[in-house]
Chains A and B, each alone.
Chain A
Amino acid sequence: GAGVSQTPSNKVTEKGKYVELRCDPISGHTALYWYRQSLGQGPEFLIYFQGTGAADDSGLPNDRFFAVRPEGSVSTLKIQRTERGDSAVYLCASSPRRSGGSTDTQYFGPGTRLTVL
């Protein structure tokens, strides 16, 4: 079956604009994660969904960042009033259930590269 897909693959926007990044998880996976990877760094956790609800949003840097998963599958990460410091690769991952065990492997998408000019 298909893996995790993310669209767009690249997004260039101007400072102050609003952007939406989309993630299509693997079918049937109940857990979905968003990470942000800045240049030369490892991915940093942003938010985790179990089903439709955000079970852990402790990684969101501020209230300009918001994510939804209204039907428990596709998720959208929304960034308001973008700043140059938001430029990064945004990664999405899904797993069959909550990670914490060896079988709860997170499968990652290719990411969306966001550039804020």
Chain B
Amino acid sequence: GEDVEQSLFLSVREGDSSVINCTYTDSSSTYLYWYKQEPGAGLQLLTYIFSNMDMKQDQRLTVLLNKKDKHLSLRIADTQTGDSAIYFCAEVTDKLIFGTGTRLQVFP
């Protein structure tokens, strides 16, 4: 079956790195995505990784994929207060399957 899991909360100090983890179950996923959701706003696509890649870096964001363990992570370098939001990972086979979301809180 399809199931994507994330830890619920993460709290970090401004300037530190944040690492948000995700596990998924469908090995046929072609792409894996990270979305950001801020209060009252729609989901914003942050980045994605193709399933045959191990790592992707995009400015402050680094995505790591361990396909053997079906584990995906998002690292945010130099975390800012504006990064406070809920982060969702999602896998796609024939449709997007979202995780439960990780609420990132950044404190000064």
Contact = CB atoms under 8 A, between A and B. Distances in A.
Contacts, number: 56
Nearest to A45: B95
A106 B41 contact: no
Interface of B is mostly: strand
Interface of A is mostly: loop
A103 to B, nearest CB: 10
Contacts of A111: 42
B40 A99 contact: no
Interface of B: 4, 30-31, 35, 40-45, 48, 50, 88, 90, 92, 94-101
B30 A42 contact: no
A101 B31 CA distance: 7
Contacts of B50: 102
A109 B44 CA distance: 9
